[in-house]
Amino acid sequence: MRIARREFLAVCAVGVQVRAGCPDAASLIDLGSGCLLPESLAGFRSVMAGSNIPRGLVIPGAGMLSERMAGMMQQRLRSGGSVLLESAIGLTRRGIASPYFPYVEFTWPVRAQIREFYPLPLAPRTGDAVIATFARQPVALRRGRLILLGSPVGSALLAGDPDARRWVASILRWMHTQ
Per-residue pLDDT of 3-30, as tens digits, reads 444 444 444 443 433 333 333 345 899 9
Q: What pLDDT sits at residue 27? A: 86
- pLDDT tens digits for range 106-141: 999 999 999 988 788 999 999 999 999 998 999 999
82's CB contacts (< 8 A; 6+ apart) are: 53, 55, 56, 57, 76, 145, 146, 147, 174, 175, 178
67, burial (CB in 10 Å: exposed 0-12, middle 13-18, buried 19+): exposed
Q: What pLDDT sits at residue 123? A: 94
pLDDT > 70 in the chain, percent:
77
User: Where does the pLDDT of residue 90 fall: very low under 50, low under 70, confident under 90, or very high at 90 and above?
Assistant: confident
C-alpha to C-alpha distance for 134 and 140, rounded to whole angstroms: 9
C-alpha to C-alpha distance for 126 and 116, rounded to whole angstroms: 26
Instruction: Kindly state the greatest CA–CA separation across the chain.
Output: 52
Domains defined along the chain, listed by start: 5-177 (3.40.50.880)
Classified as helix, coil or strand, 46 is helix
pTM over 0.85: no
Q: Bigger pLDDT: 42 or 92?
A: 42
User: Where does the pLDDT of residue 92 fall: very low under 50, low under 70, confident under 90, or very high at 90 and above?
Assistant: low
Q: What pLDDT sits at residue 52? A: 64
Q: Would you give the end-to-end CA distance of the chain in angstroms? A: 34
Q: Does the bond joining 124 to the residue before it have cis omega, within 30 degrees of 0?
A: no
Residues 148-170, mean pLDDT to the nearest whole number: 95
Q: What pLDDT sits at residue 113? A: 97
